[in-house]
Structure 1
Amino acid sequence: MTAACTGETAPELLGTLAADHATGALSTESGIFYLSAGHVVHVESAYSPDLGDLLTRSGAVAPAGWWDAVERAGARHRVGRQLVDSGRLTTGALELCHLGALFDAAYFALAHDCAPLRFRPGAAHWLGAVRPVPVAAVLGESRRRRDLLHRIWPDPAVDTAPLTRVPGTGPAGLPPRRARTLTQVDGARTAAQIAAALAHRTFHTLVELRRLAAGGLVTPAPPPPATPVHAVPDADGAAWDEPDTALLRRLLDALEAL
């Protein structure tokens, strides 16, 4: 099942899949939504650290414990359950961290509405269902985040491009979290890489980076110079070209009330 730009957008197709109580994976240009019976159970995006990164970098789960759970339960789509059953993580801590990772990835996965979409019926993620989230809640939270970030600084390039500091700026006088974020801006790292380095959720990092951009302290790094293409002769002589935790707790409470 495929929907193109001329058909349904990602939010529209997610709504259709929710109404159909569909199970499977919806791929967008920048992420994948995993659904079970019409609810979102997991979201992945290359622009956001995954759950394993968040748990291991924060120290909530040892890297060896995470990979042991993946090895033992990945094929059965029960990695989340294995983390809890093995005593490495409480149910509440897993749900809270997973909810944050899901909403972070969904924000990016919905960033390009006008891209080809592909739905794979029956596809499941190896993590397994932790706490299914209604599609409407995912879409509403993504809109809220997009609107908030736009009010801080309207250029979304800050979210995905490598970032560099404006010459002559530094962390002096900044709030602690913003100062720590600025120290990670090195001309090569993206917001996702900065979030991973700080073991922070991506959205919190985006807020600080947009505030830094609004304050004139960071900007998207210029693209690297193009590598020249040299003509290389072949054997015959012819030439060819080388080729925020409090918010998440409120969301969790609201989901439990549904």
Structure 2
Amino acid sequence: MLLRLAAERATGALLRDRGTLYLVDGQVVHAESPAAPGIDVLLTAAGRLRSDSWQGALREAGADGRVGRHLVDSGRLSGGELEICHLGALFDAAFFALAPSSGPARFRYGVAHWIGAVRPVPAETVQRETLRRRALLDRLWAHPETDTAPVVPATRRPGARASPRQRAVLELADGTRTPGDIARALGRPAFHTLVDVRRLAAAGLVETPATAAPPEPPPEVVRVMEMSADPDVALLRRLRDALEATL
């Protein structure tokens, strides 16, 4: 759907389960997702912009969709700083917004975002980068449940080392914070935090969430299993039949 909208040079908002992409003339100009810190968090948590300066820009230029331009014109940010941070936020949110989903996608024509145009990105580039990031995570640690579960620190293995970035993640891994929570606390893109968490999991420094315990076998299966300590062909057939009956 994104590529079709790009071919149509559509302008508006593509709404999906896990986020929204904003298009102008078929190019992606912004993205938002509940799973990713917004550009405001990335700017203010890093100390590059005070929270009151951000709120002031929203009040003065939000209605006109010129918040980005206002931040540059007022001297609060340089054009390069805004562009780099905006692209980071865009690709971060797009990764989650374009994740496989069973929900329907909707497009609202004409809807614009208050940040305004900073640097449009071709839809093909956004899609390609999203797929590259998904493949990278799978190569690092092929357990996607790690991305959404609370990060649980593990007993440090002898010889296992964490980089300074990863140590900052470990300091917040208290068994209650998810990778998204940690990303917001650190003011970092969520995808970068997922990379850190999966690398830590691969090194044995955080635990992959335990899978659910297998269900207890139904009574009829238990009875069949208890009939004999020396299984024979007839017993195995009855066990097979009992198991198939429960599926």
Alignment TM-score > 0.5, same fold: yes
Q: 2:164 corresponds to which residue?
A: 176
Higher mean alpha-carbon deviation, 92-101 vs 153-162, is at 153-162
2:149 equivalent among 158, 161, 167: 161
Q: Counterpart of 2:215?
A: none
Within 1, Cα distance between the matches of 2:167 and 2:160? 7
Unpaired segments ≥5 residues, structure 1: 1-12, 224-258
Alignment partner of 1:143 out of 126, 131, 136: 131
Conserved? CA contact 1:195–1:202, under 8 Å: yes
Residue 106 (1) aligns with residue 113 (2): no
1:231 match: none
- Alpha-carbon shift at residue 220 of structure 1 (Å): 5.2
Segments of 4+ moved more than 3 angstroms? 169-173, 219-223
Residue in 2 that maps onto 1:81: 69
Distance 1:165 1:152 in 2: 18
Structure 2 counterpart of 1:89, one-letter code: L
The aligned counterpart of 1:7 is none
Root-mean-square deviation over aligned CA pairs: 1.9
- Structure 2: which amino acid aligns with 1:156? P
Compare 156-165 and 63-72 and name the one that shifted more: 156-165
Check whether the contact 2:146–2:209 (CA below 8 A) recurs between aligned residues.
Answer: no
Task: State whether residues 172 and 179 of structure 1, in contact with CA within 8 Å, keep that contact through their aligned partners in structure 2.
Answer: no
Q: Is the 8 A contact 1:15 1:135 kept in 2?
A: yes
Query: For 1:26, what is the secondary structure of its paired residue?
Result: strand
1:42 to 30, 50, 59: 30
2:174 to 186, 209, 213: 186
CA deviation profile, 1:73-127 (whole Å, cap 9, x unmatched): 1111111111111100000000000001100111111112432111111111111
Report the identity percentage: 52
Aligned to 2:243: none
> Deviation of residue 174 (structure 1)?
2.0
Asked if 1 retains the 8 angstrom alpha-carbon contact of 2:160 and 2:205, the reply is: no
Q: Structure 1 residues 222, 172: closer, same or farther in 2, change over 3 A? A: closer
Please say if residues 16 and 105 of structure 2, whose CA atoms lie closer than 8 Å, have aligned partners that are also in contact.
yes
1:133 is matched by which residue type in structure 2?
V
Q: 1:94 aligns with which of 65, 82, 99?
A: 82
Report 1:1-258 matches (<5 A): 13-166=1-154, 168-169=155-156, 173-219=161-207
**Cα shift readout 1:3-41 (whole Å, capped 9, x = no counterpart):** xxxxxxxxxx00000000000111111000010110000
Cα distance between partner residues in 2 of 1:54 and 1:112 = 26
Matched letter for residue 23 of structure 2: L
Larger radius of gyration: 2
User: Which segments of 5 or more consecutive residues in structure 2 lack a partner in the other structure?
Assistant: 212-247
Tell me the amino acid that sits aligned with residue 127 of structure 1: I
8 Å CA contact retained: 2:18, 2:34: yes
CA contact (8 A) 1:103 1:138 kept: yes
The TM-score with structure 2 as length reference comes to: 0.80
For 1:59, give the aligned amino acid.
G
Distance 2:164 2:123 in 1: 35
Question: With structure 1 as the length reference, what TM-score do the two structures score?
Answer: 0.77
| Counterpart residue identity of residue 170, structure 2 | L
